[in-house]
Chain A
């Protein structure tokens, strides 16, 4: 019996075996060198590289399908429209939305949040109302709310974080009042790697009749997001962080809620009838898509989603977790390395500081070894203030990174200490 169980475990391991060397061949940029050294790209939380299929898809579009969408009766316009709309269905399926009407294309997660803050704010936020975010938000999920609160005389509150970089959830119920209209928070922290208990927070919010926006900029590429299972009212992500082109993003919203929101920008495509006196607006999702979108990019995003599906999010999750565990172990073996963000549930993002050495110097020296990381505040200054540090160095991983690259990172960090000894 035990032997059988063992065998089945081995088999499972083999089934989920992930061939990173094969996958790396899909990404042309990984072949290049930096200052004569192989590129070790560990800045995936900033943006991910693009597989060949995505790059070729963009070329194919411009070479044989280029046309404006939703407008022409001619062949190419219809072809481009179909291809563009195919991505909407791919995104719907990918996040398990109920309908393509719930998928709004934007320039990226920041654009999605600004769209939402503007529309939701105009309709639902008035003087004295309260919005709750967290202390670990990216500036993209802080500044739009500060701007809205200033304009509408509303109040912005923050769920604090503890020393591990986890939300202090027991404070949430205390922050909620009858005036609370919205909770907006990130699913995975781009600086700490913390995976927030989204389902739990959403359920608390809904108990109080509060709507929720979930920022999936750092979760969508790492593990399965099911907006219906989470019961998220709104969800945003960027295409370029999930192996798609820059300038693409998504705002998901429950259809009934999106219908209640006023349009964001005015222009072509978002209208039904325009007279000199008045305009009636198009239906969902076009109501929120004024002007010619990034057609090629959105089509490329569809290809990126196909690619991720081929690799399999479960394989990605498992392998990236192995990378995380190995990298944390290797880094902590080096004396003087401290990891910032030690939550129980983490994505493959490691923020670290080296004793007595500024992260910016770390970044420059690592770069000279071909190791690309990010050094700075990662657009999360409140987190830096919380931990009393100006900045961190951050290594963020993708499924195309290897254990050998982790070793390279560790070696390069040792070089930093040598320079500063």
Chain B
């Protein structure tokens, strides 16, 4: 296996894929959104509960590849308890990281554990997998009535 591939499928990503955090539907959500990746059939349904400016609870359902599932799992764990403004900022940072559009010496320490998904930038067709959950989150926070597609 080449090093890029090892970087992409790190153990922590495989673990989240196998045992995703916050998987299921929270009953008292006040935001939700659906995201699709038509290319590979990834499908995610995101549920959020916000109290004022704070994301108090978040969960997801759906099926997808290891990258999309672990990204959703890690994202939900990370944004729980954050403010809406913080979540939006994290989305931008995450997007920068996986598309490789940020600066080269940026270690994305502010993204903490999410930085393991950095390897995705070497696989352009997989960027959509990693960012699907995040696009769906932004849509849910806007309470956008339309479902989200990465195409």
Chain B, Cβ-Cβ closest to A368: B5
On chain A, the number of residues with a Cβ less than 8 Å from chain B's Cβ atoms is 19
Which residues of A (377-421) have their CB < 8 Å from a CB of B? 377, 381, 384, 390-391, 415, 419-420
Please tell me if the beta carbons of B129 and A420 are within 8 angstroms of each other in the complex: no
- A361-B67 contact, Cβ under 8 Å, with A390-B40, A419-B1: yes
Give bound CA distance, A384 to B14, whole Å: 25
Chain A, Cβ-Cβ closest to B41: A390
Chain A, Cβ-Cβ closest to B4: A368
Give bound CA distance, A376 to B123, whole Å: 16
Residues of A within 8 A of B43 (CB): 390
Give the interface segment out of B58-66, B77-85, B140-148: B58-66
Chain B, Cβ-Cβ closest to A359: B40
Please tell me if the beta carbons of B2 and A384 are within 8 angstroms of each other in the complex: no
On chain B, the number of residues with a Cβ less than 8 Å from chain A's Cβ atoms is 22
Residues of A within 8 A of B42 (CB): 360, 390
Identify B2's interface contact among A35, A359, A420, CB under 8 A. A35
A358 located at the interface, meaning its Cβ lies under 8 Å from any Cβ of chain B in the complex:
yes
Min distance, Cβ B4 to any Cβ of chain A, angstroms: 8
Chain A, Cβ-Cβ closest to B2: A368
Identify A390's interface contact among B4, B8, B63, CB under 8 A. B63
Min distance, Cβ B19 to any Cβ of chain A, angstroms: 12
Please tell me if the beta carbons of A360 and B65 are within 8 angstroms of each other in the complex: yes
- A376-B40 contact, Cβ under 8 Å, with A364-B123, A364-B126: yes
B12 located at the interface, meaning its Cβ lies under 8 Å from any Cβ of chain A in the complex:
no
Best-buried of B1, B9, B41, B63 by chain A (most CB within 10 Å): B41
Which residues of B (55-77) have their CB < 8 Å from a CB of A? 63-67, 69
B39 located at the interface, meaning its Cβ lies under 8 Å from any Cβ of chain A in the complex:
yes
Min distance, Cβ B71 to any Cβ of chain A, angstroms: 13
Please tell me if the beta carbons of B1 and A415 are within 8 angstroms of each other in the complex: yes
Give bound CA distance, A420 to B129, whole Å: 17
Please tell me if the beta carbons of B41 and A377 are within 8 angstroms of each other in the complex: yes
Identify B40's interface contact among A35, A360, A368, A415, CB under 8 A. A360
Residues of A within 8 A of B40 (CB): 358-360, 375-377, 390-391
Chain B positions 35 through 52: 1 when the CB is less than 8 Å from some CB of chain A, otherwise 0: 000011111000000000
Please tell me if the beta carbons of B65 and A376 are within 8 angstroms of each other in the complex: no
Chain A, Cβ-Cβ closest to B125: A364
Chain B, Cβ-Cβ closest to A389: B41
Which residues of A (347-374) have their CB < 8 Å from a CB of B? 357-361, 364-365, 368
Residues of B within 8 A of A415 (CB): 1
Residues of B within 8 A of A35 (CB): 2
Chain B positions 1 through 21: 1 when the CB is less than 8 Å from some CB of chain A, otherwise 0: 110110011000010000000
Residues of B within 8 A of A391 (CB): 40-41
Please tell me if the beta carbons of B41 and A364 are within 8 angstroms of each other in the complex: no
Give bound CA distance, A359 to B42, whole Å: 10
Residues of A within 8 A of B2 (CB): 35, 368
Please tell me if the beta carbons of A358 and B64 are within 8 angstroms of each other in the complex: yes
Residues of A within 8 A of B129 (CB): 360
Give bound CA distance, A375 to B14, whole Å: 19
Residues of A within 8 A of B64 (CB): 358, 360, 390
Chain B, Cβ-Cβ closest to A384: B41
Residues of B within 8 A of A365 (CB): 1, 5, 9
Give bound CA distance, A320 to B63, whole Å: 34
Min distance, Cβ B34 to any Cβ of chain A, angstroms: 14
Residues of B within 8 A of A377 (CB): 40-41
- A361-B65 contact, Cβ under 8 Å, with A368-B1, A368-B2, A368-B5: yes
Best-buried of A375, A376, A390, A415 by chain B (most CB within 10 Å): A390
Min distance, Cβ A365 to any Cβ of chain B, angstroms: 7
Please tell me if the beta carbons of B5 and A358 are within 8 angstroms of each other in the complex: no
Which residues of A (256-295) have their CB < 8 Å from a CB of B? none
Give bound CA distance, A360 to B1, whole Å: 17
Which residues of B (94-135) have their CB < 8 Å from a CB of A? 123, 125-126, 129
Residues of B within 8 A of A419 (CB): 1, 5, 9, 14
Please tell me if the beta carbons of A364 and B5 are within 8 angstroms of each other in the complex: yes
Chain B, Cβ-Cβ closest to A421: B14
Please tell me if the beta carbons of B8 and A364 are within 8 angstroms of each other in the complex: yes
Q: List the interface of chain B (C-beta within 8 A of A).
A: 1-2, 4-5, 8-9, 14, 39-43, 63-67, 69, 123, 125-126, 129
Q: List 10 A-B contacts (CB under 8 A).
A: A358-B40, A358-B66, A360-B126, A360-B129, A361-B67, A364-B5, A377-B41, A391-B40, A391-B41, A420-B14
Give 6 nearest A-B pairs by CB, closest first: A390-B41, A358-B65, A360-B65, A391-B41, A360-B40, A368-B5
User: A358-B65, A390-B64 are known contacts; what are 19 more A-B pairs with Cβ within 8 Å?
Assistant: A357-B66, A358-B40, A358-B63, A358-B69, A359-B65, A360-B64, A361-B9, A361-B66, A361-B67, A364-B123, A365-B5, A368-B2, A368-B4, A381-B41, A390-B41, A390-B63, A391-B40, A415-B1, A419-B14
